[in-house]
Structure 1
């Protein structure tokens, strides 16, 4: 299931050919995810990408749960961060997996609040749930 996102970006499930683009986007956002883990998540069908004319400009990596999925990472290329791509990635994931959960730092809480996540502080981080 693919959807057209902001500015003509196609949001879709990642395929094996997207592996390098996914890793590059995550590295650019200083998010740690090994090549092997990225490959396993792509194979499991739990990676969503934002594709702008065959260039990966955003990625969401999730892990399936008994019910729904948990977001491990969301990243968007620096120059594209104000384009709504992160929102499109999370909305796509939420349409596939319910509930969708995420753990995150306080600095990105407004992002998750705006998407409708119920957020609860857990120590220095937050846990958000979208039903």
Structure 2
């Protein structure tokens, strides 16, 4: 099967012309740009592995990657949208496509993105930070875990 047929079989289109599909290993640089723009500390080697395994979804608009979501099983390792596309449903489309694939998603996140996960229907619980990490860096105070099941 050629790449065009594969992409068409595994594609979700949004109203504004954004298409969600499985990422291609050749898109590593584009995916890393999106994740970096989202200020995520994603490891390029891990993302390369996710792309090779078919566990990275991309949102594409006008032939350009404008969003990415990396999965490890049902765990969302990273999800980000290009700054120019934020607030326009790209992240939502990525999460919906991921939950359609796996039936369940789990994500850990900071307070600042909690409204995004709440809007998608994630069941959210506070995660106590690692006392050592909090003492060393001040991080971990406002971490949450969300679980979403396909309805």
Question: TM over 0.5, yes or no?
Answer: yes
- TM-score when scaled to structure 2? 0.81
SS at match of 1:11: strand
Give the TM-score normalised by the residue count of structure 1.
0.93
Aligned to 2:45: 36
C-alpha deviation, 1:6, in angstroms: 4.0
Distance 2:71 2:54 in 1: 9
Tell me the SS of whatever aligns to 2:147: strand
Structure 2's unaligned 5+ residue stretches are 1-9, 129-141
C-alpha distance in 2, partners of 1:101/1:125? 13
Q: Distance in 2 between matches of 1:106 and 1:75?
A: 16
Question: Equivalents in 2 of 1:5, 1:63: separation in Å?
Answer: 25
* Mapped contact 1:6–1:83 kept (Cα < 8 A): no
**Structure 1 residues not aligned, in runs of 5+:** none
Please identify the structure whose Cα radius of gyration is greater. 2
Q: Report deviation, 1:77.
A: 0.6
Match of 1:127 in 2: 145
For 1:92-129, what per-residue CA distance to the aligned partner results, in whole angstroms no more than 9, with x for missing partners? 00100121100000111111111011000012311000
Counterpart mapping for 1:33-112 below 5 A: 33-64=42-73, 69-112=74-117
Q: Deviations over 1:26-47 (max 9, x none)?
A: 1111111122111101111111
Whole-angstrom distance in 2 between the partners of 1:46 and 1:84: 21
